[in-house]
Amino acid sequence: MRAAPAAASEGPLAMICGGGSLPIAVAEQVASRGRPVVLFPLRGAADDLPVEPYRHHWLHVGQIGKFLRLARAEGCRDVVLIGALVRPSIWQVHPDLVGLSYLPAVLKAFRGGDNHLLSNMGKLLEGEGFRLLGAHEVAPQILAPAGTLGRVQPSERDRADIAFALDYLRAAGPFDIGQAVVVAGRHILAVEAAEGTDAMLARVAEMRANGRVRAAAGTGLLVKAPKPQQDRRFDLPSIGPRTVEGVVRAGLAGIAVIAGETIMAEPAELVAQADHAGIFVVGEPPVRS
């Protein structure tokens, strides 16, 4: 574990939260290190988040003025964006006056890939005097370590598939495409683009059920890696217990991620589930091109 610079003098951390299990996992880690957090859960994305134990203010997407005012009043300077956020329909956006002034920039960002969207959000906040941090900077324990995480080890054949998958992801990275691929026997079964990892894994399960994929059950694996040019402050790949469930349903042998560049939601439960199902979870060293 790296040392983190958390200190009360940095003031409370503002967390703009989407859905899923990551926001609370990060909030717990930050709070346990003695730094207060203020959650800003987004309506429509984070409705199920158990925010009650924390100071929090609900936001609609687009209420940038409200966020800036409340975050300043709370004494926050550092901001983390975290959690799943389906791109909202323009009709679900409730811009306030400040939000309206940023709307052209946000809409422009929405037309690019994910990287553009997130970079523009980062620039916007920094232009208002905030500092945008990555979840891994405020909660370093949340990153996948190097090596095998549970009791199951990848085979030699799995290792060859991992290398093949990482080669593909490196080649596809410049196209700002999703961060995940399913490979079995050096044969790419599925590539993630806009649909997300869970939907891709469901597709593999379906292709196995309907006979389109014939690789033996218990072979093949999921590999996730950041895009080469991705801003790692706010857009790291993540895995969690739900990823393990999807991998089990897809009949795969395991999961490989990049150590130090992958967020693990509920790591204890993730590893317990993987061990129980007999699938491996391994952190590979980062490869720089």
From candidates 97, 100, 171, 209, binder to its own copies by CB under 8 A: 171
Does 288 sit near its own copies (CB under 8 A)?
no
The token pair at 14 is: 């503002």
The DSSP bridge pattern shows strands 37-41 and 13-17 to be: parallel
Neighbour tally for 56: CB within 10 Å? 18
C-alpha R_g of the chain? 19
From the centroid of its chain, how far is CA 10?
25
Q: What is the smallest separation between the CB atom of 85 and its own copies, expressed in angstroms?
A: 11
Minimum distance from CB of 195 to its own copies (Å)? Answer: 6
- How far, in Å, are 39, 177, 178, 181, 200 from residue 193 at the CA level? 29, 6, 5, 9, 9
Number of residues that bind its own copies (CB under 8 A): 38
Contact call for residue 232 and its own copies (CB under 8 A): no
Amino acid at 151: R
Both tokens of 228, joined, read 């080469």
Regarding 163 and contact with its own copies (CB under 8 A), the answer is no
Residues 240 and 261: their CA atoms lie apart, in Å, by: 14
Output 204 or 271, the one with its CB closest to its own copies: 204
Site membership for its own copies, residue 203 (CB under 8 A): yes
Other CB atoms within 10 Å distance of the CB of residue 130? 19
Give the nearer residue to its own copies in terms of CB position, either 4 or 103: 103
Residues written for the chain = 289
Q: How far is the CB of 3 from its own copies (least distance, A)?
A: 39
Which range, of 80-88, 237-245, 254-262, 273-281, touches its own copies by CB under 8 A? 80-88
Candidate segments 19-27, 94-102, 171-179, 250-258, binder of its own copies by CB under 8 A: 171-179
DSSP 193: S
175 counts as binding its own copies under rule CB under 8 A: yes
Under the criterion CB under 8 A, does residue 187 sit at the interface with its own copies?
yes
* Binding site residues, its own copies, CB under 8 A: 86-89, 110-113, 164, 167-168, 171-172, 174-178, 182, 185-196, 199, 203, 207, 211-214
